[in-house]
Structure 1
Amino acid sequence: MNQNSHGSDDDIASDASQDDVREAVVQDTWKTMFQSTEHLLFGTRQTPYNLSTLHPDQFQIFRLWQIYLDHIDPLLKVTHTPSMQGRIIDSAQDLTRTTPETEALMFSIYCVSVHSLHEDDCLATFGAARRDLLVRFQFGCQQALSNCDFLRSNDLECLTAIYLYLLSARQETDPRSLSALLGIAVRIAQRMGLHIESKNVACTAFKAELRRRVWWALVLFDARISEMADHKTSILSPTWDCKTPANMNDFAIGPEIKQHPMTHGFPTESIFTVVRSELADFTRHCAFHLDFTTPALKLIVREASTSPDLADDDLNALEERIQEKYLKFCNPENALQFMTIWTARSILSKNRLLQHYSRYSRTGSQQTDEQRDMAVSYTLTMLESDTTIAKNPLVKGYLWLVNSYFPFPAYIHLVQDLRRRPRAKHVEQCWQSMNENYSSRFATLDEQNNPFFRILGKQVLQAWVAYEDACKDSGSVPDRLQIIKDIERRGIKLPATPKDPGSTSAGTSVGTRADGANISATMGFGSDGVLFPDLPQQAFMDVDMDLFDWTAVDWGKL
């Protein structure tokens, strides 16, 4: 009996081995039939480029690696520091011995490290402008990826290099273009089976964990870019089953281990990635999320759920679980753990706001003041969490990621609610929160490069005028906030015939005009992509997105 069982295991292993052989044969056949196609993205090159001229010197390689370890690795965890560091040292000493995949990964690390720096830091550390360094290293990364035949590669390091390269290009790239390029990375990951947990567990424990980390990094990045370009393209959906990354330190896992080590109940160096991934894993199964992306998938949402212990859309239970499992052990004096605490609070509040929109879009009834106040409380938590992070010098090295998540839904919701209800009980707190967030994010930007005023300036000013009028009726005069002073100093004036906030139909939803036609608006975010087109016509709040100047948006600055 034992022999039969053992024989069955051998048969399974043999079948798997045969499958691998057949796949290798097919791939070799394709390589023989088709020439390299990297020129489709990076252009045709007559001869291979001498990449040694694009690498920084040895000292700068180590400096960029340290910046990566300080600024990037704690937030992403897509590389394994102990094993990668040895190869960085070896490559820095002799670049001729570096494999194409490692070289591509090195250039991508240069790119994303420079991306995380301010202009002054680049000049002081490397004696060159930030933009010049990015252009040089991104070109080097393109050439190195071409050397890897990256469009046909199944190498995990090559995929990681693509991801980091695209991440470094976010600020200077139209979200629609970046979304398309990310689609290539996602397709490569799917070809490798990163999204399929059975494929991951078939690998070594070390490789399986790295595959999960890279997949979830792609998912989270794609979700954000999709918010800015076209929400319906996001892969944050319940159609795959890759597990979230494990809460463990890098030294606990390596190429030599045979079994997956136990995860920890205390914060590790992976805590930020773990918490973000678990929050996203819950969200992708929620009806309120699918309302905005793919409503048809709500039919399978519970069957695919990886959180059967939580009721559908039960954000209270989720918040309690995250708090008890992770956040209560976090030390706010530790930069990464501080970042984890406040990022989790912001994500939960944003999800509560989306759940609020989804719930009241189905009823078609007018919201009560109490219900509107509840939605405002979510936006205030979003703003206050963002401000808390942005103001803390402890997380200066992480601001490159913070700057990718401007709390745009909170601003849109608040300015329209303040115009409509200038006498509500929360008004003073709203103005104070907006002013503090504005000061922490935008006050230091020059007039030409500040997108805040082009997008929201007039609407903030309209809400302030309504607030002033309400104060005058009660015999008081509010102190002018910095946000208002700066808007007025930039010469922004109210429209000649501003819309009456009371004229907005209670049946107008975000993403639609009063006549029901879709408009180019997003909750995030936005560009020319039409977001949330599947929501019912009934309002989930009285927001008129036509008031905002979307054509002026420079998304790289948000």
Structure 2
Amino acid sequence: MESDASFDGAEDGTFPAPSFGSTEKLLVGDEATNESQSEHPPPSHVLCLWQVFLDRVNPVTKLVHVPSVQPYLAQATAPWPWLPGNIEALLFAIYAVAVVALDDNECICMLGSPKNTLFQRYTSALRGALHRARFLKTTDIVILQALTLHLLSLQGRHDTHATWVLSGVCIRIAQKMGLHKDGQALGLPPFDTEMRRRVWWNIVLLDFRSAIASGFTPSSLPPACDCKMPTNMNDGDFYPNATEKFQDRDGPTEMIVFLLLCGMMQYLLTQPGLEDIITSMEENAVSSGTESQSRSAKLDKLAAGVEDHLDRLMQQYSDPTAGPLHQDAWQIKSAMTSKIRKMCQQSRKQLETGSQPTMGKDHLFHLSVDAIEHTTGLYQAMATKDLLWFVSTLFESELFTYLVGELHDRTSGVLVERAWELIPVIYHYHQDLFDLSIESNVILASFVLKAWSRRKETLKAKFGHGLETPAYVQSLEKSMPLDSVGTGPLSGTLFPPSAMAPGFSGPQDMPWDPRFMGFMKDSNFGDSRWMDLESDMRRHVLSSGEETGNTLPGDCSANPQAPW
């Protein structure tokens, strides 16, 4: 049997040219060219990007077998690199996601170009390689690895709904290839079985994340899915020609973060009635009323079950003294269980007490402060910078925009002070929010400036003097002067009624989370702070020359991978 995880493409290393009506154009466009050598980075950049991939991306994905891919990196640094088509796609995916794992300052220092320029270059080359490979019809696991890395690179910096749709495409391709069936039961070689598990659970994890980010309940595993979890072992512990079944190592390995993420996701997906539990949490986060005690018990059981499952996994496979990666794994585990516990406790409290509509509105603001506070706490707790890019993709940007918008009318109180402490932290870790060529960033900046103006007025009236303008506000004012935004209520016609989500006065192109829609429908939330800013923002966006764009956050060092 031909190895399912083989790196061999067609005999001549190329793929048949797609037909004129190729369906691949629907997803990756028509960027296919016969020559892609000019798109490869210089040899020094190839090695740099590969090291960044090993240090920052590989620990959270374990999608490739490093010893098997490494020889192709040497080949890619040759004066006239010739690579099989599937390997070329994989390398471009590695370059692109490695760029995502760097900030803009690092890209300029290490690679001589801005981050967005490099990302667009390698993503374009990757799309061309996927197009030539006719990825929708592929049975090549290497092409699927490239597509999965491409999907990862889009997390948090692309339309969440489009990313969710693309993750569904990956799931279908993987199912077509039979990855949902465990290779051991199919009689496949141990190496192929292990790689299939890694690819399958990466795709399921990305689909899980994309569904949550889009406001949907994650899809259940296919009924016929019996794919086991990846084995706890280092890449150096197995090889393509192995004939013996691989065994889990007791103790620390380089798999810990990936196993942790998969462990939580698998536990949740296998819970009976998950959709009902999530729906209950969503409804009680944004609306009033009381529910049965049985639902309260289900929430408690879910939180306790997740924590117990992850505790056992970490005790078996991790040790905080094993190095920075394991220290970060414990921080991520603590953050995940803490957030789930907090969500369940908040929902249970709402279930048991009920609330009036105005209390529900306050409850939603409280939830948003807690959530963003939780995010910033995780950023600051990470032992190294290596995985910071990954946890930053979990940032709930729409929730943050809601929080800032609320600060125009909320001018005092403990929660308000906590919220104002969070804003500079978010701007510090998400430098891309300063890029006002992106319309959603303009909206956020306008909310920040209006809220800050109101805060200054309030404090001056109360204490007789205002506050010193913080650096992040000064930066936003320079890019979008305060007088162009105004200081009155957020009003205008940037988002006409036809563009509004049902029952809500706000920008439709911001991805709406159904968790908020029930509350917005039943409240008077369509008030001035969410009315638009057409004359100011549209003038600013159009003057920038582009309506959308992507940049990513900063330091010219990539930490070496911790030895095992």
TM-score of Structure 1 vs Structure 2, range by shorter chain: 0.5 to 0.7
Partner of 2:65: 80
> Which one of 438, 441, 454 corresponds to residue 443 of structure 2?
454
Distance 1:103 1:173 in 2: 24
RMSD: 5.1
1:157 CA drift (Å): 0.9
Alignment counterpart, residue 246 of structure 2, candidates 249, 253, 260: 260
1:98 aligns with 2:83: yes
CA 1:313–1:132: 2 relative to 1, 3 Å: same
Establish whether residue 344 from structure 1 lines up as the match of residue 333 from structure 2: yes
Deviation at 1:323, TM superposition (A): 3.8
* More moved, 406-415 vs 536-545: 536-545
Alignment partner of 1:318: what SS? helix
**Partner residue of 1:318 out of 299, 306, 330:** 306
- The question of whether the paired residues in 2 share the 8 Å contact of 1:170 and 1:556 is answered with no
Q: Which has the higher contact order (CA 8 A, sep 6+)?
A: 2
> In structure 2, what is the equivalent of residue 531 of structure 1?
513
Q: Give the distance between the partners of 1:134 and 1:244, measured in 2 at CA.
A: 32
Quickly say closer, same or farther: Cα 1:323–1:77, change in 2 above 3 A: same
Q: Alpha carbons of 1:173 and 1:431: their partners in 2 closer, same or farther (altered >3 Å)? A: closer
Q: What TM-score does the superposition give when structure 1 sets the normalisation length?
A: 0.68
Question: Deviation of residue 261 (structure 1)?
Answer: 0.9
Indicate the residue corresponding to 2:267 in structure 1.
Answer: 282
The residue aligned with 2:256 is 271
The answer to whether 1:115 aligns with 2:100 is yes
Matches within 5 A, 1:44-59: 49-59=34-44
Distance 2:264 2:276 in 1: 14
Going from structure 1 to structure 2, the CA distance change for 1:452 and 1:135 (only over 3 Å counts) comes to: closer
Structure 2, unaligned runs of 5 or more: 5-14, 284-297, 492-499, 538-546, 553-564
Alpha carbons of structure 1 residues 527 and 405: separation in structure 2 relative to 1, 3 Å: farther
Kindly state the Cα deviation for residue 275 of structure 1 after the two structures are TM-superposed: 1.2
Q: Note closer, same or farther for the CA distance 1:147–1:335 as it changes in structure 2 (3 Å cut).
A: same
Q: Which residue of 1 aligns with 2:288?
A: none
Distance (Å, rounded) in 2 between the aligned partners of 1:172 and 1:538: 26
Task: State the alpha-carbon separation in 2 of the partners of residues 355 and 76 from structure 1.
Answer: 28
1:237 maps to which residue? 220
Q: Deviations over 1:445-495 (max 9, x none)?
A: 46666955622753786599589869988x898966736777778655677
Letter in 2 for 1:139: S
SS in structure 2 at match of 1:326: helix
**Which aligned pairs between 1:128-277 and structure 2 lie closer than 5 A?**
128-169=113-154, 173-197=158-182, 202-228=187-213, 230-232=214-216, 235-239=218-222, 241=225, 242-255=227-240, 256-264=242-250, 266-277=251-262
Q: Distance in 2 between matches of 1:179 and 1:367?
A: 35
Following the alignment from structure 1 to structure 2, what is the Cα–Cα distance between the partners of residues 364 and 40? 53
- Deviation of 1:389 after TM superposition, in Å, equals 4.9
Q: Aligned partners of 1:415, 1:45: CA distance in 2, in Å? A: 40
Instruction: Deviation per CA, 1:301-352: give whole Å up to 9, x if none.
Output: xxxxxxxxx9875213422442454279553894433432333344334434
Alpha carbons 1:349, 1:381 under 8 Å: kept: no
Contact persistence 1:78–1:160 (CA under 8 A) = yes
What is the alpha-carbon distance in structure 2 between the residues aligned to residue 177 and residue 527 of structure 1? 12
1:348 and 1:463 mapped to 2: Cα distance?
A: 34
1:537 is displaced (CA, Å) by 6.2
CA distance in 2, matches of 1:123, 1:463: 33
Partner Cα distance (1:288, 1:347) in 2: 20
Q: Distance in 1 between matches of 2:551 and 2:533?
A: 14
**For this pair of structures, how many residues does the alignment match?**
492
Shift of 1:214: 1.8
Aligned to 1:9: none
* C-alpha separation in 1, matches of 2:31 and 2:357: 64
C-alpha contact (below 8 Å) 1:75/1:273 kept by paired residues: yes
More divergent stretch after superposition (462-471 vs 329-338): 462-471
Identity of paired residues, percent? 22
Q: Shift of the alpha carbon at 1:381? A: 5.9
Residue number in structure 1 paired with 2:394? 405
1:517 aligns to what SS in structure 2? coil
Residue 281 and residue 145 in structure 1: after superposition, are their counterparts in 2 closer, same or farther (change >3 A)? same
> Cα distance 1:279–1:542, how it changes in 2: closer, same or farther (>3 A)?
farther
Q: Distance in 2 between matches of 1:140 and 1:498?
A: 42
Residue 168 to residue 287, structure 1, CA distance change in 2 (3 Å):
closer
Choose 344-353 or 81-90, whichever is displaced more. 344-353
Cα drift, residue 74 of structure 1? 1.2
